[in-house]
Structure 1
Amino acid sequence: MNRREFSAHVVAAGVGITSASLSTVVQAQGGPVEGTHYVRLSQPLPAAAGGKIEVIEFFWYGCPHCNALEPALDAWQKKLPADVAFRRVPVAFRDEPFVAHQRIYYALETMGKVDAMHRKVFYAIHSEHQRLDKAPEIAAFMTKNGIDGAKFLEVYNSFSVQTKVHQAKQLAEAYKIDGVPALGIQGRYFTSGSMAGSNEAALTVADFLIQRVRKNG
């Protein structure tokens, strides 16, 4: 989902995503092609994975494509090798509701609740049609799911969460992210569903890029 789709309030899952199989491309061209299926950053970024290969998913809770990809992405990241570190970075293409959703994610992360709540936030927005962009609604949602709403808002409004939101903005800009979901690899490459042919194919491209980083150092 790109900036233009965000501006048009596209909400139908799967819009703009093709069903092309990457395996056909691999067989025809010998593997994912730079400039077509992935991009090499002109200015490499420092990776922050403690010596491991860093993989970042750039996402937005309101994006239908991110929501649709989540089951496959979750299964994929759980099978990553021990030398790969995976993390999520929420993006904001304008202030609201993007920043509110960034703060939800980082507050959950701070409280150690991402595993328990990440998919529930997606479900609330895409299946229950909640916006989750105003404090009372967010607090009520958290309380309904067993989290102290007042405590959550305290973390949500904290300086540390605001700092993480600022850092997320800088990282997305450095990767030149203009649509989600997208995957950044080791501060050197990124790919997306629109580049790879489908969001699931982007995971295959990411596997290829992980191997490339591992081989080339």
Structure 2
Amino acid sequence: MKRRQFAAWSAGLGMAALLASPSVFAQGGLPAAGQYVKLAQRAPVSVPAGKIEVIEFFSYACPHCAEFDPALEAWVAKLPSDVVFRRVPIAFRPTWVPLQKLYLTLEALGQVNALQAKVFDAVHKQHLQLDQADVAAEWAARNGVDAAKFKSVYNSFGMQSKVAQANRLAEQYKIDGVPTLGVNGQYLTSVSMTQSEPKTFEAANALIAAARAGR
């Protein structure tokens, strides 16, 4: 999903390609021109030396992110041990900020793995208004999250800092659409660049290999 308009979403080529081992693409060098971007100025990373950081920039408001998530989860499950994956929620417009806070709250409470897919279903299939704080808190409680803890984190002063950090990192990565994968503060790739989910993961694998080679 682009900042100014929604990109056309290309059809996938099948789960077999999505689940290919990252090492398959390590010998091919960088992806083809147009399938990735190298940042002019490296963005900061938050992993120890010897590790490679991969970030998915996304929003619960984005239908393309919802479609991308199952394939992403399958790919992440097969990443090598030196790759650290995390998500950063994006808010291109004020109405997305509550969903940004929803993710950051679930992350703080250790509930992302359990509830990530359920949030997408709630927003895009059940059409629940999880951008409303009270609705989000009630939904979280129905899904096993302590409501008091949820509200405490969601409404905390520290949440403002987390939102600001996410926004700042998106600016440093020059993010203008989601879902986008950022690799080690150096590279970006996305379905809008590669035109398919499998090619996006192939590109990300190649960028991980390039980051590893240059480490």
- Displacement of 1:175 in angstroms is 0.8
Q: 2:140 aligns with which of 142, 147, 165?
A: 142
- Displacement of 1:145 in angstroms is 1.0
Higher relative contact order (CA 8 A, sep 6+): 2
| Structure 2 CA distance for aligned equivalents of residues 75 and 151 of structure 1 | 30
User: Following superposition of structure 1 onto structure 2, how do residues 51-200 of structure 1 map, counting pairs within 5 Å?
Assistant: 51=49, 52-96=51-95, 98-200=96-198
When the two chains are superposed, the root-mean-square deviation of aligned CA atoms in Å is 2.0
Aligned residues: 202
| Structure 2 CA distance for aligned equivalents of residues 45 and 136 of structure 1 | 35
**1:136–1:187 Cα change, 3 Å:** same
TM (normalized to structure 1)? Answer: 0.87
Residues 58 and 90 in structure 1, CA contact (< 8 A), matched pair in contact too? yes
Residues 52-72 of structure 1: CA distance to partner in whole angstroms, max 9, x if unpaired? 100000000011111111111
Q: What does residue 22 of structure 2 align with?
A: none
- Displacement of 1:160 in angstroms is 2.3
Overall identity of the aligned pairs, in %: 49
Deviating beyond 4 angstroms after TM superposition, the runs of 4 or more aligned structure 1 residues are none
**1:32–1:156 Cα change, 3 Å:** same
**1:39–1:31 Cα change, 3 Å:** closer
Q: What does residue 202 of structure 1 align with?
A: 200
Residue identity in the other structure for 1:57: E
Structure 1: which 5+ runs fail to align?
A: 7-14
Q: What does residue 43 of structure 2 align with?
A: 45
TM (normalized to structure 2)? Answer: 0.88
Residues 30 and 207 in structure 2, CA contact (< 8 A), matched pair in contact too? no
Residue identity in the other structure for 1:17: W
Residues 181 and 192 in structure 1, CA contact (< 8 A), matched pair in contact too? yes
| Structure 1 CA distance for aligned equivalents of residues 174 and 158 of structure 2 | 24
Q: What does residue 21 of structure 2 align with?
A: none
- Displacement of 1:31 in angstroms is 5.8
**1:200–1:129 Cα change, 3 Å:** farther
Q: What does residue 17 of structure 1 align with?
A: 9
